[in-house]
Amino acid sequence: MRGIKHLAEHLGLSIGTVSRALNAKPDVNPETRKRVLAAASALGYVPNQSGRSLRQGATNSVGFMIEAGDPSGNSDTFFMPVFDGVQQVLSRHHLDLVVLPCSAGEDPAQYLARTVARRQVDALILSATRRQDDRIALLSKARLPFIALGRSETAGNYPWIDLDFEGVATRSVARLVAAGHRRIAVALPSKDLNLGFVYLKGYRAALEKHDIAFDPSLVLRAASSEQGGYQIGHEILSMANPPTAIILHYELLAIGLYSRLHDAGLVPGNDLSIISFRESPISRFLSPRLTCFRLSLRELGVALGEALLASMPKYAEHYPQGVVQRVWPMEMVVGESDGPAAAASDYRS
């Protein structure tokens, strides 16, 4: 894989001929050109990126920024299938995905500024959006095409796709109310992630619709992790007037919460009704099975890739959808972790 020299040697042709064939110059015999292209493809030949990038102003790479200490905790099982979907779209245009992991200790906006200055990528996908996100202004100013996985309150007509946090919270509360629950808690992320605000908004709207007063003591904040779920369980067990149900913005919370209830001899769905967010491979193996919401992460990745290409002048003609701003739907999966309010035992005793 030494590039054009290796390719020329392999074919027994001069570098000049191979170069002219690759660049579709008219003075190359069509049969030769066909042979060169076939060999280039078979050998995985790709032009020297540094030289080409200076000439064309393109790296043929798209960056996906993630955070090593991702405060959503989503790094766990979320991103890999999304990468796969994005990559599938990019490969149609001979673009490659590179993942840019921002260290836990580094400011995401500063990290991104460095990446932009290095011109490492032609376009970017952001994740873990904050309520006010400095990275959006930075990319707009740098005129680097991007899409955000997650909304933000930062102004601007930029593309985004976000999971339906609001709708999920609303539907979860509605289901619990229909089962007779009135004291419904909500678990929120401890950091400034926009998804926490959106989820809370859906929760409050549903309470209001069902004439249930908002009780700030039922808003429980914790790290989006197993440990955070354990702490939430602990907090609920120590409350004078505990909830009979809780909705979770993140699936790993359920693992710790189940564990804390189990330690106390309590059963999810019986002593405390739980509705979780995203269905994950683990949710099927929890006992009792989690009630949660399903989506295809691969399809989400495909949609992200296509919406990003729609915002890049070079590819927009193939993706005429304009500036995509889309809430991604999720389908409820009914498990056994929630039940009628009447069943809730008084675990304060």
- In the complex, which residues of this chain contact its own copies (CB under 8 A)? 1-3, 43-51, 53-54, 59-61, 63, 68-70, 75-77, 80-81, 83-84, 87-88, 91, 96-101, 103-104, 110, 113-120, 138, 141-142, 225-227, 230, 252, 255-256, 258-259, 262, 281-282, 284-287
Q: How far apart are the first and last CA of the chain?
A: 71
Name the CA dihedral angle for 69, 198, 276, 168, rounded to a multiple of 10 degrees: -140
Residue 211's CB: how many other CB atoms inside 10 A? 8
Contact 270, 339 (CB under 8 A): yes
Min dist CB 306 to its own copies, Å, is: 16
One DSSP character per residue, 276-340 reads: EEE--TTGGGSSSPPEEEE--HHHHHHHHHHHHHHTSTTTGGG-TT-S-EEEEP-EEE--SS---
Min dist CB 281 to its own copies, Å, is: 5
* Rounded distance between C-alpha atoms, residue 181 and residue 333, angstroms: 19
Which residue carries 């926009």 as its tokens? 194
Element (H, E) at 89: helix 79-91
Contact 193, 72 (CB under 8 A): yes
Instruction: Indicate the residue among 99 and 334 with the shorter CB distance to its own copies.
Output: 99
Instruction: Indicate the residue among 65 and 148 with the shorter CB distance to its own copies.
Output: 65
Say how far residue 299 (Cα) sits from the centre of its chain: 12
Instruction: Indicate the residue among 284 and 318 with the shorter CB distance to its own copies.
Output: 284
Contact 295, 280 (CB under 8 A): no
Min dist CB 200 to its own copies, Å, is: 25
Min dist CB 201 to its own copies, Å, is: 29
Min dist CB 118 to its own copies, Å, is: 4
Instruction: Indicate the residue among 60 and 296 with the shorter CB distance to its own copies.
Output: 60
Instruction: Indicate the residue among 255 and 272 with the shorter CB distance to its own copies.
Output: 255
Instruction: Indicate the residue among 77 and 321 with the shorter CB distance to its own copies.
Output: 77
Which residue carries 């042709």 as its tokens? 13
Min dist CB 331 to its own copies, Å, is: 20
Min dist CB 88 to its own copies, Å, is: 7
Instruction: Indicate the residue among 118 and 342 with the shorter CB distance to its own copies.
Output: 118
* Rounded distance between C-alpha atoms, residue 167 and residue 331, angstroms: 10
